[in-house]
Amino acid sequence: MTLNKLNYKAVSKKDVLSNSRNILNEMQSRRSVRHFSDKPVPLEAIENIVMTASSAPSGANKQPWKFLIVQDKELKRKIRIAAEKEEREFYTKRAPQSWLDDLQELGTSWQKEFLVTAPYLIVVFKVLYEEKAELKRKHYYVNESVGIACGMLITAIHKAGLVSLTHTPSPMGFLEKILNRPKNEKPFLLLPVGYPAEDAKVPDISKKEFEEVAEVI
């Protein structure tokens, strides 16, 4: 094991405070967007965003994720058709009434036009194990690690000036088939990414107060 000196630039207390206020304000303006523009986005921006996510911490540094950046129109169309089939079943048959009641407040439906309008779909897969020369090596804390990477992905998308939707068509098995993934990869999240439509609207919801989500002890 080699240890390197930490690359850390000292920040004053005053700057820590103002930085923390700025990031709070900036991130509180992030919203899940369901109405996208088809305005093109440079692929390099998406690559930078994905590499920001891939810099996340992970159990034993296994980096158990794979990001499929889908820009191909035909693949997006196939994903939309398969997602809408599952979602229609979910909304009309599988979802319990309490879940439908919660979703009603968000105005969502089985229709997923954004899957073809957004210039990119980032499909995040969790990688359960690594296979080298027929030897399987297990990854650790896969859900926690991929969840953290997705949080950083969503933050990077927002900081870059783009919008996304955290989408989980249920179930997501069709993504493995359409995107031809190996057995050790399972779909985790699907995020359309791009600019918002000019008339994009978002549900009128609120976030919990500090006292509800945190305790100082």
Ligand X SMILES: Cc1cc2nc3c(=O)[nH]c(=O)nc-3n(C[C@H](O)[C@H](O)[C@H](O)COP(=O)(O)O)c2cc1C
In the complex, which residues of this chain contact ligand X (CB under 6 A)?
31-32, 34, 106, 108, 165-168, 202, 205
- Residue 15 CB, nearest approach to ligand X (Å): 28
23 residue type, one letter: I
- Residue 44 CB, nearest approach to ligand X (Å): 26
31/130 with CB nearer ligand X: 31
Rounded CA separation 132/109 (Å): 42
Select the residue whose beta carbon is closest to ligand X and give its number. Answer: 32
**Cis-peptide into 171, omega within 30 deg:** yes
Task: Please report the beta strands in 38-194, taking only residues with DSSP state E, as ranges in sequence order.
Answer: 65-70, 120-127, 129-132, 135-138, 163-164, 185-194
Please choose, from the candidates 95, 50, 78, 101, the residue with its C-alpha nearest in 3D space to the C-alpha of residue 179: 78
41/124 with CB nearer ligand X: 124
- Residue 169 CB, nearest approach to ligand X (Å): 6
Cβ neighbour number for residue 133 with a 10 Å cutoff: 4
Rounded CA separation 161/48 (Å): 13
49/154 with CB nearer ligand X: 154
- Residue 138 CB, nearest approach to ligand X (Å): 24
120/188 with CB nearer ligand X: 188
- Residue 202 CB, nearest approach to ligand X (Å): 6
Rounded CA separation 175/132 (Å): 24
34/78 with CB nearer ligand X: 34
